[in-house]
Amino acid sequence: MEYGCIGEKLSHSFSKEIHADLASYEYEIREIPRDELAAFMHARAFRAINVTIPYKQDVIPYLDEIDPIAARIGAVNTIVHRDGKLVGYNTDFFGMTALLERGGITLADKKVLVLGSGGTSKTAEAVASALGARAVCRVSRTARDGCITYEQARTQHADAQIILNATPCGMFPNPDAQPVDLTDFPEVDGVADAIYNPLRSRLVLQAQARGVAAIGGLYMLVAQAAAAVEHFLGTAVDKDEIERVYRKIRNDKQNLVLIGMPGCGTTTLGKRVAARLGMDFIDTDEQIVKRTGKQIPDIFAEQGERGFREIEAAVVRSLESVQHTVIATGGGAILRPDNLTALRANGKLCFLDRPLDALVTTDDRPLSSNAQLLCQRYEERYELYCAAADFTVNCVSDMDENIRNMEEGFLQ
């Protein structure tokens, strides 16, 4: 290959799409088993490559030259084949710094925990030191290479103020994993996670739920790619271009999740806005019917609300890895925190706020089949919808205006 990215497992990678937006060359994603890395590096059959987990340190012995920043960190994620020599760089340093700036997370005079022992963790440690952290502790399961254990972090460093996750814990295809529980670190005021797939890891979601500034790794991925392009081609990439590509990739991957009362229009409006945005469409109630082979009133009659909610939760979990999709949810989907967590991983939640007097009762909604029940559900759930939503569309206008407002809120 001429340009590309190497790593051990790359099914989660967005790098090909990012480089396609930043430059005009062909960029290849290549998974390389550990026992084939030496042969690949010795062959030198590339112009320039990015390097990701777990090879950011393993490639160093094959280099002829190494940039001072990469040498100081001890990790390389960009290699350029120039004049017969392999030259290594670390653009993750720029990417991590840019991520923290965009997330409004300051490290000066703070205690920082860096989770992980690999190349990305060494980069995060270097960034923290460069940004004036008071203390930096790297954390790993085995406490090797100068790290402390997770138990030591929990018991001896509960006063940590910043957590930087440089592990793959929580990355697709295991998005429900989380490296630490933030309840063990009550003084944390900033979290940055190098994970970008899902867009918001469990760690980021927990931090945001606690009112802590938190950001996932997509912006870092784009920023480090831009820095790599500069080394690949010798051309500059400005900050506006990084922001443009970041927003494009985010919107290409992100779901629009519609929440609201039965009859508010999640299905009707959802199909229309999906067509407008060129996105797929999924209705969770339709998925429940397909999964069970039964209509929703029949499920309620046989299993009650609790049985129905279990089925609904299983459907929501099955959609956690879906991307670029408009997801219309049932009126009670927001009642379970686990549902919201799964939907937020890749989704932006929109509350379709239709006035009570504009909602219509139907027999296929057992919990709101008459006016009295509908009013009761509205009073029970309204504040929950408001709290869950990333943005709200007041459905008092015509359909076209509602759809424009949904699109605008999603793309912001």
CATH number at residue 66: 3.40.50.10860
Using DSSP's 3-state secondary structure scheme, residue 283 falls into: strand
Asked whether residue 248 is domain-assigned, the answer is: no
Residue 78 has which token pair? 């960009």
**Is 56 considered catalytic here?**
yes
Q: Could you tell me if 78 and 102 lie in one domain?
A: no
* CATH code where residue 322 lies: 3.40.50.300
What's the pLDDT band for 369 if we cut at 50, 70, 90?
A: confident
Average pLDDT of the residues in 186-214 = 97
Asked whether residue 242 is domain-assigned, the answer is: no
Q: How far is CA 263 from CA 282, 294, 362, 364, 378, in A?
A: 17, 20, 8, 11, 11
Asked whether residue 195 is domain-assigned, the answer is: yes
Among the three residues 187, 202, 237, which one is the final residue of a domain in this structure?
A: 237
Cα(58)–Cα(301) distance, integer angstroms: 60
pLDDT at 156: 97
Q: Could you tell me if 129 and 170 lie in one domain?
A: yes
pLDDT at 34: 95
Does residue 251 contact residue 199 with C-beta atoms inside 8 Å?
no
Cα(111)–Cα(109) distance, integer angstroms: 7
Number of domains in the chain: 3
HEC assignment per residue over 201-266: CHHHHHHHHCCCEEECCHHHHHHHHHHHHHHHHCCCCCHHHHHHHHHHHHHHHCEEEEECCCCCCH
Q: Could you tell me if 266 and 394 lie in one domain?
A: yes
Average pLDDT of the residues in 272-290 = 97
pLDDT at 363: 76
What's the start-to-end Cα distance of the chain, in Å? 37
Cα(63)–Cα(82) distance, integer angstroms: 11
Q: Could you tell me if 336 and 363 lie in one domain?
A: yes
Among residues 256, 259, 209, the alpha carbon closest in space to that of 383 is found at: 259
Using DSSP's 3-state secondary structure scheme, residue 262 falls into: coil
What's the pLDDT band for 370 if we cut at 50, 70, 90?
A: confident
Which contiguous run of DSSP H or E holds residue 193? strand 190-193
Among the three residues 237, 269, 294, which one is the final residue of a domain in this structure?
A: 237
Q: Could you tell me if 264 and 404 lie in one domain?
A: yes
Q: Are strands 78-82 and 48-51 parallel, antiparallel or unpaired?
A: antiparallel
Q: Could you tell me if 302 and 192 lie in one domain?
A: no
Q: Could you tell me if 214 and 347 lie in one domain?
A: no
Amino acid at 298: D
Does residue 102 contact residue 213 with C-beta atoms inside 8 Å?
no
Asked whether residue 246 is domain-assigned, the answer is: no
Q: Could you tell me if 380 and 401 lie in one domain?
A: yes
pLDDT at 377: 92
324 pLDDT more than 80: yes
Note the pLDDT tens digit of each residue in 72-81.
999 999 999 9
User: Domain containing 184: what range?
Assistant: 94-220
What's the pLDDT band for 103 if we cut at 50, 70, 90?
A: very high
Asked whether residue 32 is domain-assigned, the answer is: yes
Residues 6+ apart with CB under 8 A from 155: none
Cα(263)–Cα(365) distance, integer angstroms: 9
Q: Are strands 255-259 and 391-394 parallel, antiparallel or unpaired?
A: unpaired
Please tell me which residue in 16, 56, 85, 294 is annotated as part of the active site.
Answer: 56
pLDDT at 131: 98
* CATH code where residue 111 lies: 3.40.50.720
Note the pLDDT tens digit of each residue in 226-237.
999 999 999 999
Q: What's the whole-model pTM score?
A: 0.92
Cα(280)–Cα(326) distance, integer angstroms: 6
**What count of residues does the chain have?**
412
pLDDT at 107: 98
Mean pLDDT over the full length of the chain: 95
Note the pLDDT tens digit of each residue in 236-278.
999 999 999 999 999 999 999 999 999 899 999 999 999 999 9
Asked whether residue 184 is domain-assigned, the answer is: yes
Q: Are strands 65-66 and 48-51 parallel, antiparallel or unpaired?
A: unpaired
Residue 134 has which token pair? 């008071």
Q: Could you tell me if 39 and 141 lie in one domain?
A: no
Q: Could you tell me if 304 and 208 lie in one domain?
A: no
Asked whether residue 205 is domain-assigned, the answer is: yes
360 pLDDT more than 90: no
Cα(294)–Cα(317) distance, integer angstroms: 20
Asked whether residue 245 is domain-assigned, the answer is: no
Q: Could you tell me if 266 and 401 lie in one domain?
A: yes
pLDDT at 11: 85
Q: Could you tell me if 208 and 263 lie in one domain?
A: no
Does residue 377 contact residue 384 with C-beta atoms inside 8 Å?
no
